[in-house]
């Protein structure tokens, strides 16, 4: 990068320019995430380091434009660039940041060059060599990450639900007239009312997405599955007699994994940090283990813009539709979100 002016206006302008340029590089790369470093040393070792993904460029928490050493001295470019690169790698890996270089310009210059293994006559060459060495470790990590997160690049196409879970038959059964509660009290009539909302939600999906069983967007199948399972639970409890209601423990309402509604196993609440916010979501045992280990959980991937010629896969919760609003039950009852969004004509 050419030398930067020391004026405050120029520094602010370069910050905006490098952030915008980094995001343009991300869009051109068509990658899940990239790291970008801009650095120059005409006036000082000024460095802009970014991690860029769909949410935009961000700077690691301990990264400074004018990076200082352990002894609170400004780093030369030969040490600043490798430090920032290793800091970016540690941040995306979720590991501890690297220690600050032990640099003190008050020491003898030749001792500093020798101590740090720098090529005094070719600082650019050193930077490139150090960058290449760090990139070797990053490349190995990227390959592992690419394999682990390959699902992010494609629409969800499984598991097969229409035949294996007999969704057309389940849908037909769910739309039959609801029986009156066997125990006609306030609680049972509330369940009956919810059953009517479930039926309305199913009708809305079928009317809005008549090709739900064959659409490349698998979220509709997952919604039909979740609603029909909820309907079975509701109908079972509506048929309970007063005596059975008093002597038998009520079965738990079905819950669905926020990331992938068909995930099996015990479902429980989890505090999921997203930026400065913490969301309480329902997750399965496997997704909980992934999150606790610092990994992303496999998620239901859907078209970002349904009906668009160019299909880009995104996690379903990044869209603004009923399924995202509900989180398949994590934030609101799925049937209520569907009736509100699809029924209002905004879907």
- Of 2, 7, 74, the closest CA to residue 42 belongs to 2
Q: Are strands 46-53 and 301-303 parallel, antiparallel or unpaired?
A: unpaired
Phi, psi of 15 (to 5 degrees): -60, -45
Is pLDDT larger for residue 292 or for residue 73? 292
The predicted pLDDT at position 130 comes to 52
Q: Give the pLDDT band of residue 3 (cuts 50, 70, 90).
A: very low
Assign 314 to helix, strand or coil.
strand
Distances (CA, A) of 42 to 64, 113, 134, 214, 336: 17, 19, 24, 60, 61
In the chain the first and final C-alpha atoms are separated, in Å, by 47
Question: How wide is the angle at C-alpha 230 spanned by C-alphas 196 and 191, nearest 5°?
Answer: 45
What is d(CA 303, CA 318) in angstroms, rounded to the nearest whole number? 10
Q: Which helix H or strand E contains 17, and what residues bound it?
A: helix 8-29
Q: Does residue 246 register a pLDDT over 70?
A: no
Q: Does residue 220 register a pLDDT over 70?
A: yes
Q: Across the chain, what does the average pLDDT equal?
A: 80
CB 316 within 8 A of CB 330: no
Is pLDDT larger for residue 65 or for residue 331? 331
Query: What number is the average pLDDT over the span 263-290?
Result: 90
Q: Which residue has the tokens 């990139």?
A: 135
Is pLDDT larger for residue 155 or for residue 91? 155
SS (H, E, C) 238-266: HCCCHHHHHHCCCCCCCCCCCCCCCCCCC
Question: CB under 8 Å to 90, separation ≥6 — which residues?
Answer: 96, 97, 98
- The token pair at 86 is 């290793």
What is d(CA 195, CA 175) in angstroms, rounded to the nearest whole number? 10
CB 301 within 8 A of CB 308: no
* Tens digits of residue pLDDT in 135-188: 544 444 444 455 566 778 889 988 999 999 999 999 999 999 888 888 788 888
What is d(CA 261, CA 306) in angstroms, rounded to the nearest whole number? 20
- The token pair at 147 is 């394999």
What is d(CA 7, CA 89) in angstroms, rounded to the nearest whole number? 31
What is d(CA 71, CA 278) in angstroms, rounded to the nearest whole number? 37
The predicted pLDDT at position 32 comes to 78
Any idea where the domains of the chain sit in the sequence?
8-148, 153-343
The predicted pLDDT at position 1 comes to 47
- Is-above-0.85 flag for pTM? no
186 exposed, middle or buried (CB, 10 Å; 0-12, 13-18, 19+)? exposed
- The token pair at 82 is 């490798």
Q: Does residue 20 register a pLDDT over 80?
A: yes
Q: Give the pLDDT band of residue 121 (cuts 50, 70, 90).
A: very low
What is d(CA 18, CA 50) in angstroms, rounded to the nearest whole number? 9
């Amino acid at each position: 990068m050419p030398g930067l002016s020391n004026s405050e206006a120029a520094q602010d302008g370069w910050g905006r320019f490098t952030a915008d340029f980094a995001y343009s590089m991300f869009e051109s790369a068509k990658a899940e995430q990239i790291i970008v470093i801009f650095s120059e040393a005409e006036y000082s070792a000024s460095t802009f380091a970014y991690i860029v993904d769909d949410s935009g460029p961000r700077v690691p928490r301990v990264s400074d434009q004018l990076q200082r050493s352990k002894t609170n001295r400004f780093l030369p470019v030969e040490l600043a660039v490798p430090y920032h690169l290793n800091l970016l790698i540690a941040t995306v890996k979720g590991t501890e940041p690297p220690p600050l270089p032990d640099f003190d310009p008050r020491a003898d210059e030749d001792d500093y060059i020798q101590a740090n293994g720098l090529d005094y006559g070719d600082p650019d060459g050193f930077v490139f060599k150090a960058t290449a060495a760090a990139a070797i470790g990053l490349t190995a990590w990227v390959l592992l990450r690419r394999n682990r997160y390959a699902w992010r690049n494609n629409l969800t196409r499984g598991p097969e639900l229409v035949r294996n879970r007999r969704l057309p038959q389940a849908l037909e059964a769910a739309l039959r007239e609801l029986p009156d509660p066997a125990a006609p009290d306030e609680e049972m009539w509330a369940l009956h009312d919810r059953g009517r909302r479930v039926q309305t939600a199913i009708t809305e999906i079928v009317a809005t997405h008549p090709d739900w069983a064959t659409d490349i967007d698998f979220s509709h199948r997952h919604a039909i599955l979740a609603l029909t399972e909820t309907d079975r639970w509701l109908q079972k409890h509506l048929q309970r007699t007063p005596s059975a209601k008093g002597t038998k423990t009520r079965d738990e309402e079905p819950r669905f994994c926020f990331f992938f509604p068909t995930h099996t196993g015990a479902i429980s609440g989890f505090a999921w940090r997203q930026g400065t916010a913490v969301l309480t979501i329902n997750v399965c045992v496997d997704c909980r283990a992934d999150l606790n280990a610092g990994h992303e959980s496999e998620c239901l991937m859907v078209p970002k813009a349904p009906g668009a010629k160019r299909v880009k896969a995104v996690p379903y919760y990044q869209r603004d539709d009923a399924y995202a609003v509900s989180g398949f039950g994590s934030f609101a009852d799925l049937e209520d979100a569907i009736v509100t969004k699809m029924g209002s004509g905004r879907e």
